[in-house]
A and B are shown apart, each in its own frame.
Chain A
Amino acid sequence: MTQFLSLLLNGISLGAIYALIALGFVIIFKASEVVSFTHGSLLLLGAYTIARLSDPLGFYLAALVGVAITALAAFVVERLIINRLRGAPVISLAIVTIGVDIILLTELIRRIGSDILNVPHPWGGGSFRIGDVGISMNRLIATIVAGVLIALFFVAFKYSSWGVSMRASAEDGETAALMGIRLGRVSALAWAVAGALAGVAALFLVGSPTPGVSPSAYTVALRAFPAAILGGLDSTGGALVGGLLIGLAESFAAGYQEQLLFLGRGFGDVVPYIVMIIVLLVRPSGLFGTKELTRV
């Protein structure tokens, strides 16, 4: 029972981080119809910046700069490339983001090399305990921060003028443009927000229980993809649910590894993809995605 509870807690905290990243995917997709394969390397960029700057600047400032730089990078990608391809087929857009991803990832891996950079979180590697059930301090803070950020986002999405214009342009781009909404600006802002969310996720993803910044953070970020797809690419609420589901599934599969040994070691790492494929079999547009209807 103790194990179950602590796995549950860890799953939720991991899911919260995934939800942050997945929310980024969804925002970008809603605003510019792009599935951003750049997100993995953006996240790594954030983690790398934070790790490198926290020595000269101190942790908090470095974290701030890291998140800002990730947001800026996403913004620049949108301005320089995506913006010029408005209206292009979804596949070309996805491929172009893969191109960006290759460049960014190669550069980051070259810089990181085989080291594992350490991020000196002030809350350290300690853990928080209620009775026998424990969770690392880092993950606990991550859950809280992610919760606050996600709540803030939903409020902004619902009430702020940015949120309204974004929903409008996702609903019907042409009409929104005619109503005076500047689609380019909405999309650029969406990329920046998504970048910032990835930066925050990076900040916590590289803390305990994960050892530190290494290229493998990239594969972790990729696991947020199933989260976004699972919930439905165009549903912000879906991203949240998808993130939590994936986090829980991964945590349980890793925790009960001994019982699942016949499936091979490290099975937890692939569980997100298996869950995604099963869900897609039943619901091809994800759990909360709008079904595409075609009218002839």
Chain B
Amino acid sequence: MSESTATATQRSTGDRGRPAAAAPRRSWVRPLLLALVLVVLLALPLYIEEFWLRTGFAVCVAIVGAIGLNLLVGTTGQLSLAQGFFLAVGATTYVFVSGESGGIGLADLSGLGWPPLVGMIAGVLAAGLAGLLFSPIAARLRGIYLGVASLGLVFIGQHVLNSWTSVTGGFNGRSAPEFSLFGFTFGNRDPELYVLAVPFREAERLWYLGLVLALGAYLFARNLLRSRPGRALQTLRDSEVAASVMGVNVQGYKARVFLVSSMYAGLAGVMFALSVGSIAPESFGLEVSILYLAMIVLGGLGSVGGAVLGAVFVTALPLIFQRYADVVPLVGGPGESGLAAGEAARYLFGLAIILVVLFEPAGLAGLAGRFRRKGRGSGGGRLTRRSSAVTSSSTTSVPSDRPAQGSTT
């Protein structure tokens, strides 16, 4: 019981910076900082080039997906490798519902041609439905069995994507319709839009869409974790027995968190289709699921902010490597000697995952928290616990038991 309280305290520290009692007089700093960041993010399209905006939207996609996965894996302790599958369900549904019928090449595609907003909602709901259908299995399986069972979903999904050509476009995939909201398209024209003499084209518009959706996803998850169900989920991770003794409906909550997580993935899938402009089976393979897992592990299991950090890191790194291939050591551009950008990034992720689990189970969020405590000196050392999300079981002898740096001076 004290366990879960400890984690709960940690979460609130992780998100809000400090316990209310620690530094009441500086409590305005954080909102101000957040507002500043928001203004900068909103103003960015006026200054930076398209590449960065596109990267930004891809990051937003990953943020939504990672937050969803983190609710399942980090908060509730249910290992899932099926994120790629649920992304695929969301993306495919969007493309099918909003896309037009017609033939491309040999394939005869069918589509409903409904408004994109309906398509987006349908995508989220369809992914949720898929999650709900799988949840009878998910709710009954313990951690590791679920991990492998969800691995199966990815491969089944790949098979369906490849064979159900009329909906998914088959092996070659199909293009995704532009998003539009009440007549305002998120494309290059229609209407032509200039803000301060900067043309707002597809990249700029999608950037704002991404910001809104990612922010919404963040707030929803944060509030969920602070509410009664959120506490229940954390108790569930720490000990199923304790949770059920406390009156938590174990099966019910497991099924529901699976539903929420897959709906997040569905939204991320829709956004992915918008970001790339098309869908293809290879975009939703096992590798994608593993990358999402990498995001939340690197960011810090169980922390919403951590998921965001991890998503930024994992998504942006390969793109940046690619672009600055001539500057980054060891990395060569396409056709040159040296590592390809994606490979270099993957080595780094693999290594980072191992190091994080070995030395800093709370991930980037934990590092940030540690840094913050250090910066505050002795005043911040009130919380000496480092019961991290990953190492929640009371018998752990993992490095998290080291005394927190900066906890005492």
A-side interface residues toward B, CB under 8 Å?
Answer: 35, 81, 84-92, 94-96, 98-103, 106-107, 110, 219, 222, 225-226, 228-229, 233, 263-267, 269-270, 272-274, 276-277, 280-281, 284-286, 292, 294, 296
Of B36-44, B109-117, B252-260, B342-350, the segment with at least 4 beta carbons within 8 Å of chain A is B342-350
Q: Which residues of B contact A (CB under 8 A)?
A: 73, 77, 79, 136-137, 140-145, 147-149, 151-153, 155-156, 158-160, 162-164, 240-241, 245, 286, 290, 293-294, 297, 339-340, 343, 346-347, 349-354, 357-358, 361, 390-393, 395-398
A85 cross-chain contacts in B, Cβ below 8 A: 357-358, 398
A90-B143, A91-B73, A273-B151 are known contacts. Are A103 and B350 too (CB-CB below 8 A)?
Answer: yes
Indicate whether A225 sits within 8 Å of B144 (C-beta atoms), given known contacts A81-B358, A99-B357, A273-B156. no
Known pairs A96-B358, A99-B352 / 5 extra A-B pairs, C-beta < 8 Å? A85-B357, A100-B350, A225-B151, A226-B148, A266-B159
Most chain B CB inside 10 Å of its own CB: which residue of A270, A272, A296: A270
The answer to whether B343 and A95 touch across the interface, beta carbons within 8 angstroms, is no
Q: How far is the CA of A87 from the CA of B245 in the complex (A)?
A: 25
Residue of B nearest to A77 (CB): B354
Top 9 A-B pairs ranked by shortest CB distance?
A264-B163, A273-B152, A99-B353, A102-B350, A103-B350, A99-B354, A270-B159, A96-B357, A284-B140
- A37 → chain B, closest Cβ, in Å? 8
A87 touches B144 (CB 8 A): no
In contact, B79 and A91 (Cβ under 8 angstroms) = yes
Complex contact A92–B390 (CB within 8 A): yes
Q: How far is the CA of A88 from the CA of B155 in the complex (A)?
A: 29
B354 touches A277 (CB 8 A): no
A35 cross-chain contacts in B, Cβ below 8 A: 144, 147-148
Q: Are A277 and B149 in contact (CB under 8 A)?
A: yes
Residue of B nearest to A279 (CB): B149
* Bound-complex Cα distance A269 to B151 (A): 13
Chain A facing B: main interface SS: helix
Q: Which residue of A lies closest to B74 (CB)?
A: A91
Contact status B390-A91, CB under 8 Å:
yes
Alpha-carbon separation in the docked complex, A219 to B396 (Å) = 33
A106 contacts B343, C-beta separation under 8 Å: yes
With A96-B357, A292-B142: A274-B398 Cβ-Cβ less than 8 Å: no
In this complex, what residue of A is CB-closest to B73?
A91
Choice from A89, A98, A100, A233 contacting B293 with Cβ under 8 Å: A98
Complex contact A91–B77 (CB within 8 A): yes
CB closest chain-B residue, reference A232: B145
User: For the complex, what is the distance from the CA of A185 to the CA of B163, rounded to whole Å?
Assistant: 48
Q: Nearest chain A CB to B365's CB is how many angstroms away?
A: 16
- Supposing A92-B390, A226-B148 touch, asked if A102 and B346 sit within 8 A by C-beta, the answer is yes
In the bound complex, residues from chain A placing their C-beta under 8 Å from that of B353 are 95-96, 98-99, 102
A281 to B240 CA separation, bound complex (whole angstroms): 20
- Tell me the complex Cα distance, A84–B354, Å: 11
B residues near A91, Cβ cutoff 8 Å: 73, 77, 79, 143-144, 147, 390
Would you call A270 and B155 a contact (CB within 8 A)?
A: yes
Q: Which residues of chain A come closer than 8 Å to B358, judged between CB atoms?
A: 81, 84-85, 96
Question: Taking the nearest CB of chain A, how far is it from the CB of B157, in angstroms?
Answer: 9
Q: Are the CB atoms of B137 and A277 closer together than 8 Å?
A: yes
Contact of B290 among A102, A226, A264, A285 (CB under 8 A): A102
Contacts of A228 in B (CB 8 A): 148
Instruction: Report the nearest B residue to A96, measured CB to CB.
Output: B357
Tell me, in angstroms, the Cα distance from A266 to B73 when the chains sit together.
Answer: 31
Write the chain B residue with the least CB distance to A281. B137
Interchain CB contact under 8 A, B145 and A280: yes
Q: Is B396 a contact of A88 with CB atoms below 8 Å?
A: yes
Known A-B contacts A102-B353, A267-B159; A296 and B241 likewise in contact (beta carbons under 8 Å) = yes
- The residues of B that contact A266 with a CB separation of less than 8 Å are 159, 162-163
A230 to chain B, nearest CB (A): 10
Neighbour of A225 across the interface among B77, B148, B351, B354, CB < 8 A: B148
Query: Once the chains are docked, how many angstroms separate the CA of A35 from the CA of B144?
Result: 7
Separation of A81 and B290 alpha carbons in the complex (Å): 19
CA distance A225 to B164 in the complex (A): 26
Residue of A whose beta carbon sits closest to that of B141: A284
Is B396's CB under 8 angstroms from A276's CB?
Answer: no
Which of B240, B241, B293, B354 has the most chain A CB atoms closer than 10 A to its own CB?
B354
Min distance, Cβ B141 to any Cβ of chain A, angstroms: 5
Q: What B residues does A96 contact at CB under 8 A? A: 353-354, 357-358
Query: Which partner residue on chain B sits nearest A93 by CB separation?
Result: B357
On chain B, the residues within 8 Å of A267 by CB distance are 159
Contact A229:B398 (CB < 8 A) given known A102-B349, A269-B159, A270-B155: no
Instruction: List the A residue with the shortest CB-CB distance to B161.
Output: A264
B278 to chain A, nearest CB (A): 21
Q: Given A99, A263, A273, A286, which contacts B155 in the complex, CB threshold below 8 Å?
A: A273
13 pairs of residues in contact across A and B, judged by CB atoms under 8 Å: A35-B144, A85-B357, A91-B147, A92-B357, A99-B351, A102-B294, A225-B148, A229-B145, A266-B162, A270-B155, A274-B156, A277-B137, A285-B145
Give the residue of B163, B350, B391 whose beta carbon is less than 8 angstroms from that of A92.
B391
Residues of B within 8 A of A94 (CB): 79, 144, 147
The residue in chain B whose Cβ has the minimal distance to the Cβ of A225 is B148
Q: Is the CB of B145 within 8 A of A294?
A: no
Docked-complex contact A280 and B350, CB < 8 angstroms: no
- Report B-chain residues with C-beta under 8 Å of the C-beta of A87: 395-398
Q: Specify which chain B residues have a CB less than 8 angstroms from the CB of A101 in the assembled complex.
A: 350
